[in-house]
Amino acid sequence: MRAWFFSENAYHLLPDSKEYDSIRVKLPNRYYDPKIGADLYHRFIDEWKIAEDLGLEIMVNEHHQTATNLNPSAAVVMGALARDTRKARLLILGNPIANRREPVRVAEEMAMVDVYSRGRLECGFVRGVPYEMSAGNHRPTRMMDRFWEAHDLIVKAWTSHDGPFNWEGKYFHHRQVNIWPRPYQEPHPPIWITALSPSSARAVGERGYIVACFLTGFEGTKNVFDSYRERRAELKLSTPALDRFAYAALVYVGETDEEGYAGARKLMWYLESNKVPPQFTSPPGYHPTASAVNTMKGTNPGIFKMFQNPALGPLMEHGLVFAGNPDSVYRQILKMYDHVGGFGHLLIMGQAGFLDHDETVKGMQMFVREVYPRLKALA
């Protein structure tokens, strides 16, 4: 198994949450101090470099108009990391391509990072979280049509080397597509796609990309991975290796269970601070109609309620947080691994909120020294 260190680059020095009704979309940026923000950017880049030194791979993502994540452009921070690192694989998970107006620009940026890093880019595509429909003015309906058209255009831009091609699709129009640079890796960087539902997992499985699950717990993750495997079997495609599956959780390894839990409680800031009103969590058309009906009836599955009122016990029980001493964390990861049929990538949310630099680094060191060798032996 390969482990990836991931940080949301949050800006956590916020007023009491009673003073605002949403941490996303509309929280005024007067609460952001750019001088503190600069220190934070450099701190987080240092932590990614330490992750590389320890032997971890690097993952970044992007979000918009939110204090929970100060990377509105994954390409920009990854550009800096591509220059500052030498050996780690560099995963962007991901580019919210259903929300980007110019997929060709995404193809260019990703090719640039791939060349800059001499072929270390792993390129993720995501649909984009519901809160960002307002942030980007993107229509929440029929998003997956737009997503796949953007994907098709990006892959074609990466793999066309004989001058311009024409693209007049439903959502995107470019008559002269001919990107410079082209990607370093042939035919293009490995593609990752996040899936939350069995139907999207099937679409990823058909293409053989790496499917990633974020905080989906035991059952949600199993549904996604099973759907991926089933779809490939239906189409008589090769059985996917473990390296096609990734799972992201909040992870903190301490010397004792207590220390691990204390670190995890600080990571939970990410869930606790995610105060967002319903008009931003459920823009119409983003979630399936049946799920909108369940919301009105108040019968959505327990995992949704857990996000509304996060507590360490239930989060660990459901496999969203792996925390404790090294043996405990290994057992927890193994339990998830066995439940979902195995996975080849662990995406570690290892920094959030008030977890300071030393604590962040200690959690990484403990993981690498005490847990990672056992995980590597798994696959």
Partner 1 sequence: MATNVTQPGWVTVHGVRLEIVERGQGRPILWLHGEEGLDPGAPFLDLLAAHGSVLAPSHPGFGHSPDVASIDTVDDLSYLYLDLLAERNLRDVTVVGSSMGGWIAAEMAVKCSDRFSGLVLVAPLGIKVGDRETRDIPDIFALPPDEVTRLQYRDPARAAVDHGKLSDDQLTIIARNREATALYAWEPYFHNPKLRQWLHRIKLPTVLLWGADDRFVTAAYYGDAFRTAIPGARFETIPGAGHFPHIEEPAGLVERIGGFIGERKA
- Rounded to an integer, what distance in angstroms lies between the CA atom of residue 329 and that of residue 332? 5
Which residue's CB is nearer to partner 1, number 41 or number 171? 171
The residue with tokens 């995404």 is 106
Q: Quote the tokens at residue 372.
A: 């990672």
- Choose which of 269, 280, 322, 330 interacts with partner 1 (CB under 8 A): 280
For position 68 contacting partner 1 by CB under 8 A, the verdict is no
Please give the residues from 99 up to 158 whose contact with partner 1 meets the rule CB under 8 A. Answer: 133-134, 137-142
Bond into 314 cis (ω within 30):
no
Residue 110, CA distances (Å) to 13, 84, 106, 114, 154 in order: 32, 17, 6, 6, 10
Separation CA 205–CA 335 (nearest Å):
24
Smallest distance from the beta carbon of 286 to partner 1, in angstroms? 9
Structure tokens, 179: 């990107």
134/325 with CB nearer partner 1: 134
User: Quick check: 297 binds partner 1 (CB under 8 A)?
Assistant: yes
Cβ-based nearer residue to partner 1, 137 or 239: 137
Q: Of 72, 67, 69, give the one whose Cα is nearest residue 19.
A: 67
239 lies in the site for partner 1, by CB under 8 A: no
- Contact stretch for partner 1 (CB under 8 A) within 85-93, 160-168, 221-229, 274-282: 274-282
Q: Which of 289, 309, 313, 377 binds partner 1 (CB under 8 A)?
A: 289
Compute the half-sphere exposure of residue 281: CA atoms within 13 Å on the CB side of its CA: 14
Assign 359 to helix, strand or coil: helix
Among 15, 28, 238, 296, binds partner 1 (CB under 8 A): 296
**Interacting span for partner 1 (CB under 8 A) from 186-194, 244-252, 272-280, 309-317:** 272-280
Give residue 7's Cα distance to chain centre.
10
With 0-12 CB in 10 A as exposed, 13-18 as middle and 19+ as buried, what is 74?
buried
Q: Report the C-alpha dihedral over residues 140, 143, 146, 150, rounded to 10 degrees.
A: 100
Q: How far apart are CA 249 and CA 5, in angstroms?
A: 11
197 vs 279, beta carbon nearer partner 1 = 279
Which positions from 156 through 175 interact with partner 1, judged by CB under 8 A? none
Among the listed residues 16, 278, 358, 377, the single contact to partner 1 using CB under 8 A: 278
Q: Is 73 in the site for partner 1 (CB under 8 A)?
A: no
**The one among 292, 303, 334, 361 contacting partner 1 by CB under 8 A:** 292
- CB of residue 197 to partner 1, shortest distance in Å: 16
Using rule CB under 8 A, residue 28 touches partner 1: no
Q: Which residues contribute to the site for partner 1 (CB under 8 A)?
A: 25-26, 133-134, 137-142, 277-280, 283-285, 289-290, 292-293, 296-297
